[in-house]
Chains A and B, each alone.
Chain A
Amino acid sequence: MVFSSLTFLFAFLPLVLVIYYAVPLKAKNLIIMLSGIVFYAWGEPLYVFAMLLSTAIDYFAGLIINKYDDKPKVRLACLLVSLIMNLGLLGTFKYLGFIINSANAWFGLDIPNPNLPLPIGISFFTFQSMSYTIDLYRRNIKVQKNPISFIGFVSLFPQLVAGPIVRYEDIQNEIDNRTITEKMVGDGICRFITGLGKKVLIANNIGMLWTTVKAMEYSELSAVTAWLGILAFTFQIFFDFSGYSDMAIGLGKMMGFNFPENFDYPYMSHSISEFWRRWHMTLGGWFKSYIYIPLGGNRKGTARTLFNLMVVWTVTGIWHGASWNFMLWGAYFGVLIIMERLFMGKVLEKIPSFFSWLYTFVLVVFGWVMFDAVDTTIVDIGAMFGEVFTYIGAMFGANGVFMDNFATSSIMNYGIMFAVCILGSSDLIKNFATFIREKAPKWMQYGEPVVNLVIMLTAISYIATSNYNPFLYFNF
């Protein structure tokens, strides 16, 4: 079930919330567990068992790690079982087909590909669930003995399928003991509606332009068309994904949880390193805690630091999808971040901030070309580079056409949308709201709910009437 569907908004959500608020605190986790399972099973009636299996293993691993506190070997064994199990699920469903296809293509083999469909959100819930056993092994957190609470943590539907990646550590205190205040619910609703608007009104709309450009022949694109196309995707993925995170955080608040933030105006960054501190923050945090730091982080000399960075970024790339272009995309950022470590960072600090912003933004946009302009089923790495360079070439006029009718048409039809996107990617609206809040607090207090009502009704008009409603991050 996706948040921006009528089924979720007008059947699942009101029903769950009414029951959730009606039952006493002790029963609330049971409602969370049951609603999470229904939520997941609605989209994946079969794979819901994969999710429950992963959860069950981590639950028991946790119990045993806790019980044999003085037996390091038992603890390690439990951790390994949990890791192998989760990574095994991820490997089988997400990477097996890709590995088989690549091996077949490279070595002329003929291994049959089972073509398993990817369970929704598997990259998210396995990571959430693993964080629990790892942290327990490191004695950072306390064991969760109540199975309902534990399943509830994993299947907590707001964050189940597309992040933010909520670690057990983040909400361990709230799982068994939380207070739900009127303010939290009100704020949560505002946040949810903001996310709904970002997703339905902005991401879906601007995404249509990218869909059209992506279907065109890259070697015939005019320069302006190529820029407009990839900029459309640049905004689509931001509003889509951060919108989803906003909805998740908002729903979490409505249910009494404080999830970690996931986006902090990433397109305002002045370096690639900064971009990654502001984009999909919970994923970056996860890799930092569980890969970069265990590998030694930056404490083992420059060479080792650079190696560690490269590992983390390649893994980040491949986490986004089982294909070569995602690996390229990750490695690309690895190289950029290493360059910033070595010398570029100092340069960026010295040049006027407009240029450091431009440098960052343009490189991120090139990244999106690798991320989405390429056919993800490609196994021929040369062909993949070919597609990437054809597209980037088109952006710089390699096709010999600067502007064409399509570009004019896109500017006329999507100009306002682009303006909205630029505004929404900056902190201008936030600053404006803060300004009004100081100057005219009453207006802001009662104006905000009314504005949100309008956004919600508008979003409903789009949801109710459009079939174009994909969630990008479901495939990762």
Chain B
Amino acid sequence: MKFKMTPSKLMIFLFAAVTLALPITTIALPKLERSENENRTLAKFPTLINEDKLENAENFGEYVDSVKWDYITIRDKNSFMDDIEVYFSDHLAGRETWVQTKNKLEALIGKQEINGVYTINDQMIQVFKEYDQATVDASIKAMNTFAANHSDLPCSIMLSPTAQEMYFSQMPKYNGYLSQKTFIDNVYKQLQGFTTIDGLSFMTEHKDDYLFYRTDHHWTSLGAYYGYCAAAKALGYSAYGLKDFNIETVSSDFHGTLYSKTLDSGVTPDVIDYYHLKNNAPKITMTVFDGAKETVYDSLYVRDYLNVKDKYSSFTGSNQPIITIETDIDNGKSLLLVKDSYAHSLVPFLANHYSKITMVDMRYINADLNYFINVDEYTQALFMFNTVSFAEDESLKKIQLTK
């Protein structure tokens, strides 16, 4: 019998091809543990036995009692059936292509933000639209307490803008984007005992330069340089000029965190530069304390990270509780730097002026700082955050524990 194509046969064939090929490919493909591009660990295949609960249970009856609700209803999150769906979704063949397709379509039907990222002229922007005032108030109160408790320690604060502020006038007002200038001014007004540093003005002067990565939420080394210029004044020394640095380009293929959110390959990948002082570059010893052990480096850069996706982490390594930088500059000046990851590309500039800098990340510290370091030993303290992370950070309030 001769095969005759009909519309029904075509439909059946197409449907069968998709519903059979996709699961078979998914099963056949090797399973990744994490998605580098999305920057997250992928789900493991769920097991019916919950080993943690099994270990903790006295006997099997108690175990059954402790897990029975895990399997009862799909409306309970984390049920076994939900986990299967999540696993399937995480490991679906061609997952990144599906994500890209969806995000392209979202843009096509007029969605101006994809996963909290607004893209304008080859620049991805992490949007800043809302924040919790109570969180900000708590941080301010804690910082004021800290400054009062350490009246001999000169404290400064620098809130850096993010890319949104550079493009603010070009972004649609109706989407409710917030002015970071207003935010920063408000915070500065309420702080007591702090020298406030106006990083924003320095940066807006150079807003057409490459101050922010196109695909990442951080500032570039050049952006950090202008932050450094602003900070230097307040911290009592003059900043080196741009021409004093040798610029080493270490990557021109950096896909940052905002790329992870959109997987939009239409935006040009980023260039990462290191700024080395041409003359009298200090000798560096960097000690990274990850909460358990210390690792010592002879540079501020951990170049191993240049080989993975998360290349920004090559600045002083990834986020860690405490990083201590000692130099051969013998000027008796030491800086306590309470910070977020924006400081990682700032510190290569600051390091040229201190014999010791200690970077503290309150997100990873749950105790009195004096438990790890002696706060009063420092000659200066600088609080350095970008606006968005400062507005959202709930850990900074822990600083008031510090006696």
Q: What chain A residues lie within 8 Å of B75 (beta carbons)?
A: 117
Q: B78-124: which residues lie under 8 A (CB-CB) from chain A?
A: 81, 84-85, 88-89, 92, 95, 98-99, 101-102, 105, 109-113
Q: What chain B residues lie within 8 Å of A117 (beta carbons)?
A: 73, 75
CB pair A186–B12 under 8 Å, yes or no, is yes
CB pair B88–A42 under 8 Å, yes or no, is no
Q: What chain B residues lie within 8 Å of A37 (beta carbons)?
A: none
Q: Which of B19, B23, B26, B111 has the most CB of A within 10 A?
A: B19
CB pair B15–A189 under 8 Å, yes or no, is yes
CB pair B111–A413 under 8 Å, yes or no, is yes
Per a CB cutoff under 8 Å, which of A6, A445, A466 touches B102? A466
Q: What chain A residues lie within 8 Å of B71 (beta carbons)?
A: 45
CB pair A189–B73 under 8 Å, yes or no, is no
Rounded to whole Å, the gap between the CB of A475 and the closest CB of chain B is: 9
A-B Cβ contacts below 8 A, count: 132
Stretch in B152-160, B170-178, B286-294, B311-319 with 4+ CB within 8 Å of A:
B170-178
Q: CB of B20 within 8 A of chain A?
A: yes
Residue interface mask B4-30, A partner, CB < 8 A = 1: 001111111011101110110010000
Per a CB cutoff under 8 Å, which of B18, B92, B109 touches A464? B92
Q: What chain B residues lie within 8 Å of A417 (beta carbons)?
A: 109-110
Q: What chain A residues lie within 8 Å of B32 (beta carbons)?
A: none
Complex: A83 Cα to B23 Cα, angstroms? 43
Chain A: number of interface residues, binned into ranges: 35 or more
Q: CB of A448 within 8 A of chain B?
A: yes
Q: What chain A residues lie within 8 Å of B8 (beta carbons)?
A: 182-183, 185-187
Complex: A412 Cα to B175 Cα, angstroms? 9
Q: CB of A462 within 8 A of chain B?
A: yes
CB pair A11–B112 under 8 Å, yes or no, is no
Complex: A452 Cα to B101 Cα, angstroms? 16
Complex: A450 Cα to B15 Cα, angstroms? 10
Evaluate whether A461 and B98 lie within 8 angstroms (CB atoms) in the complex, with A6-B85, A406-B176 already known. yes
Rounded to whole Å, the gap between the CB of B114 and the closest CB of chain A is: 11
Q: CB of A115 within 8 A of chain B?
A: no
Rounded to whole Å, the gap between the CB of B69 and the closest CB of chain A is: 10
Per a CB cutoff under 8 Å, which of B9, B11, B19, B101 touches A14? B19
Complex: A187 Cα to B8 Cα, angstroms? 7
Evaluate whether A465 and B14 lie within 8 angstroms (CB atoms) in the complex, with A9-B19, A416-B110 already known. no
Q: What chain A residues lie within 8 Å of B26 (beta carbons)?
A: 10
Q: What chain B residues lie within 8 Å of A453 (beta carbons)?
A: 14-15, 18
Q: CB of A13 within 8 A of chain B?
A: yes
Q: A421-476: which residues lie under 8 A (CB-CB) from chain B?
A: 445-446, 448-450, 452-453, 456-458, 460-466
CB pair A186–B20 under 8 Å, yes or no, is no
Q: What chain B residues lie within 8 Å of A452 (beta carbons)?
A: 11, 14
Q: A379-405: which residues lie under 8 A (CB-CB) from chain B?
A: 405
CB pair A449–B73 under 8 Å, yes or no, is no
Q: CB of A147 within 8 A of chain B?
A: no
Given contacts A1-B74, A42-B81, A405-B173, 9 further A-B contacts (CB under 8 A): A14-B20, A44-B73, A45-B71, A182-B6, A445-B7, A449-B14, A461-B99, A461-B105, A465-B95
Residues of B within 8 A of A (CB): 6-12, 14-16, 18-20, 22-23, 26, 71-75, 81, 84-85, 88-89, 92, 95, 98-99, 101-102, 105, 109-113, 172-176
User: 17 A–B contact pairs at CB < 8 A?
Assistant: A1-B74, A1-B81, A10-B19, A10-B88, A14-B20, A43-B81, A182-B8, A186-B11, A405-B173, A413-B112, A417-B110, A446-B7, A448-B11, A460-B98, A463-B89, A464-B98, A464-B99
